[in-house]
Every structure is written in structure tokens, then in C-alpha cells.
Structure 1
Amino acid sequence: MSPGLVFVLLCALASVTAAEDTPRCPRGFLEHGSSCYWFSNIEGSFAEASSYCQFFGSHLARITSEDEDDYLRRRANEEKGSPGYWLGATDLIKEGEFMWKGGSPINYPSWSPGQPNNRNKQNDDEHCLMLQKTSGYKWNDLDCILKIKFICERKVSMCCCKKLKCTQ
């Protein structure tokens, strides 16, 4: 029997035997649309945040729609206490051209007015994307070595989906 068929059968069996309210996101992650999000309670540099997300089988969040942007901004505001959160984009490959990690372009930008500006008071080294509290969690570029909280994202679980409506 092929591994793919075994996977499909196990998922079907799990969804039949699992309770209706089986979560499709890991503990601590919040489901919205086809993604699960984790708002960190720790701070790290952009590289550290990316590593944490990878450890949890996820990546730094990528915002691709107004709905997703609104949801993450609202949740960030509800979390209270963080001046910002890392998202998964940089302009480290080509200055001024922000791309999501992995190389996909940003098709839905939500920059704060005047951003990105690649400027801080000491030098021109703001290359990583974050949600900034002072602008209502709109986007801002920031020095990648600064330590702030971050948002991890992963797709909802394919297995154990409610009523076999699984998404990838």
C-alpha cells in the first residue's frame, strides 16, 4: 500500500473517530481562515524568531490579504504590551524590495505612512518587517537584530479536520 494512501486512510479514520471539536491547530495557536497563528510571549531578533517558528513547524507570519491583516492587527492589539511583532519579510536580498521569506513577493502591503524608510537614528539598517503598535500595528521596517515579539504561522492540520473538510 502506498504511503499516500495510508495517510488518506488514517486521516479519514481519525476524522470519523475524533470528537467534532478536535482542534486543527496545535495548542497555543489560534485558527483563522486556513492558517494557525502563535503570538509569542518571548522576544527575539528576526533570526531568532524565525528559528523559533521553524522549531514549531511554522514560519514567521506572511500577510496576504486585508482579512488576514485585520485579524492579526486586532489580535496584536488584544495581546497588549508588545511594541511590535516580527513578520516574515525582509529586503536583505535587494534593498527597498521587501519579499516574504522563501522569495515570494508582497502582494498585499499595509505599510504605516512613510514606511518603509530604512532609517533609524543611528544608521540605515532597517531590513526586517514588523507590526508596530504606535501605528495601530501597521507595517514598519526595523533593524533585524532588535529583540521584539513575533507571530508564527502554519497551515491548519490536514488530518483530523472537521467533517473531512481538510485544507492544505
Structure 2
Amino acid sequence: MAFALRSLLLLCGISGLLTGVWSDLKVVRVPSCPKGWSRLDDRCFLVVDKLQTFADAESSCQGLGANLASIRSAVEDEVVSALIARFASTGYVWIGYNDINVEGTFEWTDGSPSVFEDFDGAPPTNPGEDCVQTYPETLSTWDDVDCDTPSPFVCAKDLH
């Protein structure tokens, strides 16, 4: 009887200790991309294989809580190129770079700083060609084209 009582007290004491330990643990949620999106670091990318003008593509991305993709590094450029090769039916897609406001001064639709470019040489200054597509089949080179050209597109958004 004494042994059973000691065992019960020991069990209650251990249980109380564990309850205290478990109640102090906090669950940390790791952010993830929505289903169908691909993650790179703290950003999510989605290739939309639907032909749209630049403006319509940007609107579609905004409807998903994103913008046309801003590409901030050579690594992101390579990842986006791989996604395009896998999910797009054409070898060219819209990204969010454009010089709509001032010819020759490119900016991202999401307001990101312009710290990376992948033009073949100097940024182009073709009047009437203000929106940028990436061509991963040709070593991921970018080019400006008419914004009304229907093309697939890449959306991007930051993880929260």
C-alpha cells in the first residue's frame, strides 16, 4: 500500500512537472506560400499560363495579393526562369519591370528598388515598347515589348 501511494504521488508530481513544461511551449508557425506557388527565401512566385496584356496581368496578380514579379537577384532570375520553363507554354512571360512613366527609366510595379537587371547589354529605349518580358530560353535575357502583347506572366509576393 505504501509503495502504491508513493508511486501515485510520484506520478502526479511528474505529471504536474510535464504539464508546466508543456504549457510554457509556444508553437511557432513558419510562413508558407499558398498552394501552387513556389517559395524562394521570403518570397512566393506563381507562373500564370494565361495570355494577358501587361496591365491585365498586373491586375490579375493584384487580385492574388501580389504584383507582377520583381526580380531582385541573379538567383531569383534563375528560379523564375526554371519556373517558366516548367509551367509556361511559351518561352516569354511578363515580369513587373517597365518604363511606362519615363522612357529608359525602368521601375518595378511593386515599387522594389531596381538593383538587378538582365537585359542583353544596356537597358533598351524603344519607344512604344515599355513593358519587360523575360526569355529564359535565351539565357534569361529581358527585353521590352509593346505592353498590349498578350503573354503569360509571373506573380510574386512576400511572405508575411
Q: Same fold (TM over 0.5)?
A: yes
TM-score w.r.t. length of structure 2: 0.75
CA contact (8 A) 1:73 1:138 kept: no
Q: How far apart in 2 are the matches of 1:102 and 1:36?
A: 14
Among 83, 89, 96, which residue is 1:81 paired with? Answer: 89
User: Structure 1 71/82 Cα, relative in aligned 2: closer, same or farther at 3 Å?
Assistant: same
Stretch deviating more after TM superposition (68-77 or 102-111): 102-111
TM normalised by structure 1 equals 0.71
Structural mapping, 1:26-105, within 5 Å: 26-79=34-87, 81-105=89-113
In 2, distance between residues paired with 1:57 and 1:92? 22
Q: Is the 8 A contact 1:76 1:137 kept in 2?
A: no
More strand by share: 2
Q: Bigger CA drift: 72-81 or 54-63?
A: 72-81
- 2:110 and 2:86 map into 1 onto residues whose CA distance is 29
Aligned to 1:145: 148
Instruction: Output the CA distance in 2 between the equivalents of 1:114 and 1:33.
Output: 29
Matched residues, number: 135
* Partner-residue secondary structure (3-state), 2:130: strand
After TM superposition, give the deviation of residue 137 of structure 1 in Å. Answer: 2.8
Q: Using the alignment, how far apart are the partners of 1:105 and 1:23 within structure 2?
A: 24
Runs of 5+ unmatched residues, structure 2: 1-25
Higher Cα Rg, which structure: 2
What is the rounded CA distance, in whole Å, between the counterparts of 1:65 and 1:133 in structure 2? 15
SS at the partner of 1:87?
A: strand
Check whether the contact 1:98–1:105 (CA below 8 A) recurs between aligned residues.
no
2:22 aligned residue: none
Deviation, 1:72, is: 0.9
Between the aligned partners of 1:44 and 1:76, the Cα distance in structure 2 is 15
How has the CA–CA distance of structure 1 residues 104 and 25 changed in structure 2, closer, same or farther, with 3 Å as cutoff?
Answer: closer
CA RMSD of aligned residues (A): 2.2
More helix by proportion, 1 or 2?
Answer: 2
